Structure 1
Amino acid sequence: MSAASRAPLTLAGAVVAALLLSACTSGGTSGGSGGTGFVMGEDGIATVKKGQRDAAPDLSGETVDGEQLDLSSYKGKVVVLNVWGSWCAPCRVEAPAFEKVYQDLKKDGVEFVGINTRDAKVESARAFEEDRGVTYPSLYDPAGKLMLRFKKGTLNPQAIPSTLVIDRDGKLAARSLAALGEESLRKMIAPVLAEK
């Protein structure tokens, strides 16, 4: 194959790689804010007013550590739900901040739950948590089936990483489709935690 005939293939490969990379670091637009009741802030965090929120779907199953977990058992608490994969560079960057905020806020009734997705081997997920000191539980969802339980048009996870805040009534209150630092994560949780 000549260099001239390889050029279109190289360009196509670069476009595919860029699309795959952006899928890991930013979200799509399906289920956007048009008519759904949620508002996207300048910080990229979408929020829904209390009383207009959709219920979180049934999220239950086996954790990375082999335990059973049912998200509904956390009703009455604010839950931070983080969708991640050990292969995702932004997930690796944000994990220590999530653990720090979890340790700081658990005394206030805030629970953290991860959903590990697209890791074919549970050992990869366990190694990720151990290497980054993550102590909160994560559901193991290698095929991404838990993400499909979210209704279209709700604050559904559309990227990896995605982070959702679920209010004390088990309803979807806020979402980010990008990696979060400690300050952004605290800013996302604070209004839901302040609700009575």
Structure 2
Amino acid sequence: MAPDFELVTLNGETVKLSDYRGKKVILNFWATWCPPCRAEMPHMQNFYEQNKDNGIEIVAVNLTKMDKGRMEIDKFVKEYGLTFDIPLDEEGDIGMQYQAFTIPTSYIIDTNGKIASKVVGPMDEPTMESLTNEIE
């Protein structure tokens, strides 16, 4: 099982990973200063827009402890037009728990909350599609 966590999003909502049970989840770890993360985010947003009504969620955990602050994160999210949940890992505990030592790192989680795969490095839409199609 994917370790559950509870974090506050950039919008001020408290979310738990277990809230998404029953959906396929791309759990992504990123930071604003990371060039591969910056390259990946438009692909994530496009994939999310195409699949959010098909039982797929993107939860993009910002490694806030390593980042440049909330204002910079907010600016980044607006600049990229991101509409999926952005939980803030302000203490760095969740990134450590998921061993997100290289970013971006993503976990593909099935509808039962089990980790199906881990991807280190940026993904594009075809990769996300392939990985989410492989799971229940």
Structure-2-length-normalised TM-score? 0.92
Instruction: Give unpaired runs (5+ residues) of structure 1.
Output: 1-54, 151-155
How far off is 1:58 after superposition?
A: 1.7
Higher Cα Rg, which structure: 1
Size of the aligned set, in residue pairs, is 134
Q: CA RMSD in A?
A: 1.3
1:140-179 equivalences under 5 Å are: 140-150=88-98, 156-179=99-122
Match of 2:45 among 88, 99, 102: 99
Match of 1:90 among 23, 31, 36: 36
Aligned to 1:108: 54
Deviation string, structure 1 residues 96-118 (Cα, Å, up to 9, x no partner): 11011111111111111011012
How far off is 1:143 after superposition?
A: 3.6
The runs of at least 4 aligned residues of structure 1 exceeding 6 Å deviation read: none
Give the Cα–Cα distance (whole angstroms) in 2 for the partners of residues 130 and 102 of structure 1: 16
Instruction: Give unpaired runs (5+ residues) of structure 2.
Output: none
1:5-84 equivalences under 5 Å are: 55-84=1-30
Q: Secondary structure at the residue paired with 1:87?
A: coil
1:115–1:139: 8 Å Cα contact kept in structure 2? Answer: yes
Give the Cα–Cα distance (whole angstroms) in 1 for the partners of residues 101 and 84 of structure 2: 22
1:98-137 equivalences under 5 Å are: 98-117=44-63, 118-137=66-85
Structure-1-length-normalised TM-score? 0.65
Relative contact order higher in (CA < 8 Å, ≥ 6 apart) = 2
